[in-house]
Amino acid sequence: MIEYFKEIVEGAYTLAVGMGITFVRMFRRRVTLDYPYKSLTMTARYRGHIELKRDETTGQPKCVVCMACQKACPSGCIKQLDGQKPEGAPRKVLTAYMLDFTTCSLCGLCVESCKFDALAFSHDYNLTSMRKEDYQTMDLLKRVGGAK
């Protein structure tokens, strides 16, 4: 019999504690952001789609078209990777870099395989499009980022 009343009192007490917690929470600072108007800066290790790094001095992509990233990619996302060597230039210059982002799993093997520090993950997470083709052929040469 005592157990019965003990259970009632304990039950009521725990319920009151729970409601107290939610009550205090009502007056705490909000943690969410008004997203389309404000957004957070991405953390340094965020993995967006890959992007080509720019050479600080020349402004050109650092890529030397060694094809290591294309070989490293397990899903064959890097569709077209072309370059040519202009007269007198010390190395090849990139002319096309097409990424199929729809099959990319962001494993990062391409970034790791790059010996010339020419690839990086971008921090762009606001990607949207109404057409699948936009991401099946992403022209990275047009998107040469400012990633350091």
Positions touching another protein (CB under 8 A) are: 8, 15, 18-19, 21-23, 25-32, 34
User: Judged by CB, which is closer to another protein: 11, or 76?
Assistant: 11
Output the smallest distance, CB 43 to another protein, in A.
21
Q: Which residues face 83 on adjacent strands?
A: 94
Q: How far is the C-alpha of 114 from the C-alpha of 68, rounded, in Å?
A: 6
Classify the phi-psi angles of 105: left when phi > 0, otherwise alpha if psi is within -120 to 50, otherwise beta: alpha
Closest to another protein by CB, 25 vs 148, is 25
Distance separating alpha carbons of residues 95 and 16, to the nearest angstrom: 68
Cβ–Cβ under 8 Å, residues 78 and 117: no
The residue to which tokens 């009502």 are assigned: 26
What is the radius of gyration, based on Cα positions, of the chain?
Answer: 26
20 vs 74, beta carbon nearer another protein: 20
Min CB(36)–another protein separation in Å: 9
User: Alpha-carbon distance 37 to 22, whole Å?
Assistant: 28
Give least dist CB 22 to another protein, A. 4
Q: How far is the CB of 40 from another protein (least distance, A)?
A: 15
DSSP-derived secondary structure letter, 81: E
